[in-house]
A and B are shown apart, each in its own frame.
Chain A
């Protein structure tokens, strides 16, 4: 018994402990130990030793079916690798890994690293670097990765002491996935990759400050008094509402959130990043709130008297005018794992810094034990009426193909089970509004950074995370151009991804703003005369199924054929170039001033448009 206990307390030594490995082999071994099952990256001079080590690892550890245990997926551009790693991380919840060379290889990944930081996505990006003796000498393919990435990432390590390489890599994974997740960059000079090192199999960097703060947050407990304050306010409330953000997805708290909401009959609206945190088809699910949220969600925010923000941060696309956000809420409660988000934008009456799952479980248990069951029948009826009277809608009578109809047709077949990635702009918002999401990690979108070109590489990464899932990239003609080189990556690896380009002949979202706020001066957003033939481009990159949809009557049959194709498929849809994204809470406007467009009923006449082009 005691021997067993002791064995449990001391983890067995790593089988390679004490062995001499090159730095490059140390890198690959730590990746393997961390459970990395795919690497996205592009080779180059300064990372050659690690690429060689991956090659040897895969040859020596080939599976019985000859599959490689850690395949290297090669993009057209390192930005693609970074977004593939993100797509993998977002779809799986595991840390995504990108492996790139020094200089341009590293700087091409700056955008996905910053994007991952902004959306709290765990990544480890390993960059080759010029040898330590050449650092700062303006050497070939040298870039100041520490400085550049330090401003964008959760953390960056420059490994100048080879003896710390192993501990640094393991620590990079710790940092990426712990607390509020984020990207960690490890910059490894070539001589460190070539150094002969003694592998120990367990070392980590102390990083005392970070680990102490993390422990405090992870072990913070909701005491009875705090729970009582929460439920005291909830019992007073007649119109409570949960506002759930991407933290619910990151924390794996969807089950806990659903249990909590169900226990007390609380309606839920989610942010763009929180879609899938609750089943969007549920009766008390209000879909997305915010600048392009559903009218009924935004009206519910206007009407609520108790707001509970869960893993959300009142960002400017939700609370553009913080003082007018949820104006009737007498009590706002906020849970987040990041202390810096509490009271940052909106000061709240109740706060808890900690992990979401234990906090929500504790609240559910406390409320149940104290027999809390707020009588919310009137509120539920009010919300049902809002959903009915202010339902999403669009120009169904038009002869032109409406983008919303295309997404509805795809959604009827996907039934809320597909993994959907997007670029950024109008198509992204239509996809967010018109798709159902039944589970977390089905919705992959660049929320905070708003990076055009995200959709295609993210879909590729997601397909590696979920080989059996239906993965659909809903893209725009502007966004897909940004990383169109990755079309070839889809066919190179034979991925059955379905790529949809909603083509409105330009940058539709910017055009919409130019229409509303810049006197219809469409500066540099009209691409209707551009020469690109997307279908031929897809065919040239090896898409056997590549078609253009121009006839409204053919939507259903074409979508059915497209989704049924067993392999990569590409569908360009020529949509109404004047289709707009509504509802819209304009910049500097409150939810009460929301414009609902011509097809969604507004609750009251919106205030006259205030032309404020300086707002973003």
Chain B
């Protein structure tokens, strides 16, 4: 099923590559991806969605938290997307 992860990321060169690379290395394909600046120029907000099972989504969440550039990451419930 579709899962959505949202994160705040340090606005460093290479940060997006690390997020995308983490997914690619685990064989996931990104369905949608948005990266925008925030009020703090040092911080970007990234939202992505992909197809995976629930356990896979939880593991991805934990793996994203190991990236040094990731400030916060959350798994968005499906209901939040429908709204």
Contact = CB atoms under 8 A, between A and B. Distances in A.
Interface of A: 146-147, 150-151, 154-156, 158, 160, 175, 207-210, 213, 338-340, 343-344
A155 to B, nearest CB: 4
Nearest to B25: A151
A237 to B, nearest CB: 28
Contact of A209 (B18, B21, B59, B71): B71
B32 interface: no
Nearest to A149: B14
Nearest to A151: B21
Contacts of B21: 150-151
A213 B65 contact: yes
Given A209-B71, A338-B66, A158 B59 contact: no
Nearest to A184: B68
A209 B13 contact: no
Q: Give the interface centre of A156, A207, A208, A209 by most chain B CB atoms within 10 Å.
A: A209
Contacts of B13: 146, 158, 160
Contacts of A160: 13
Contacts of A208: 71
Contact of B68 (A175, A339, A343, A344): A175
30 contacts: A146-B13, A146-B14, A146-B17, A147-B17, A150-B14, A150-B17, A150-B18, A150-B21, A151-B21, A154-B68, A155-B68, A156-B14, A158-B13, A160-B13, A175-B68, A208-B71, A209-B8, A209-B10, A209-B69, A209-B70, A209-B71, A209-B72, A210-B68, A339-B65, A340-B62, A340-B63, A340-B66, A343-B58, A344-B59, A344-B62
Q: Give the interface centre of B21, B62, B68 by most chain A CB atoms within 10 Å.
A: B68
Interface of B: 8, 10, 13-14, 17-18, 21, 25, 58-59, 62-63, 65-66, 68-72
Contacts of A213: 65
A340 B68 contact: no
Contact of B65 (A158, A207, A340): A340
A158 B66 CA distance: 19
Contacts of A175: 68
Tell me the dominant secondary structure on chain B's binding face. Answer: mixed
A344 B59 CA distance: 7
Contacts, number: 41
B73 to A, nearest CB: 9
Contacts of B58: 343
Nearest to A340: B62
A207 to B, nearest CB: 6
Q: Which 10 A-B pairs have the closest CB atoms?
A: A340-B62, A209-B71, A155-B68, A146-B14, A210-B68, A151-B21, A209-B70, A150-B18, A339-B62, A340-B63
Contacts of B65: 213, 339-340
Given A339-B62, A340-B62, A340-B65, A147 B14 contact: yes
A576 B24 CA distance: 44
B19 to A, nearest CB: 10
B53 to A, nearest CB: 14
Contacts of A150: 14, 17-18, 21
A454 to B, nearest CB: 23
B46 to A, nearest CB: 13
Nearest to B18: A150
Contact of A207 (B8, B66, B68): B68
A75 B56 CA distance: 42
Contacts of B8: 209
Contacts of A209: 8, 10, 68-72
A491 B73 CA distance: 51
Nearest to A175: B68
Q: Give the interface centre of B14, B58, B72 by most chain A CB atoms within 10 Å.
A: B14
A213 B62 CA distance: 11
A566 B17 CA distance: 51
Nearest to B22: A151
Q: Give the interface centre of A160, A213, A340 by most chain B CB atoms within 10 Å.
A: A340
Nearest to B42: A206
A146 B17 CA distance: 9
A340 B14 contact: no
A208 B66 CA distance: 13
Contacts of B70: 209
A434 to B, nearest CB: 36
A461 B20 CA distance: 35
Contacts of A155: 68
Nearest to A171: B68
Given A151-B21, A340-B63, 10 more contacts: A146-B14, A146-B17, A151-B25, A156-B14, A160-B13, A209-B70, A340-B59, A340-B62, A343-B58, A344-B62
Nearest to B14: A146
Contacts of B18: 150
B8 to A, nearest CB: 8
A216 to B, nearest CB: 10
A207 B59 contact: no
A158 B71 contact: no
A110 to B, nearest CB: 14
Nearest to B15: A150
A14 B59 CA distance: 43
Nearest to B21: A151
A507 B70 CA distance: 43
Nearest to B60: A340
Nearest to B8: A209
A208 B70 CA distance: 9
B9 to A, nearest CB: 9
A207 B10 CA distance: 8
A344 B63 CA distance: 11
A404 B62 CA distance: 42
Contacts of B62: 339-340, 344
Contacts of B25: 151
Nearest to B9: A209
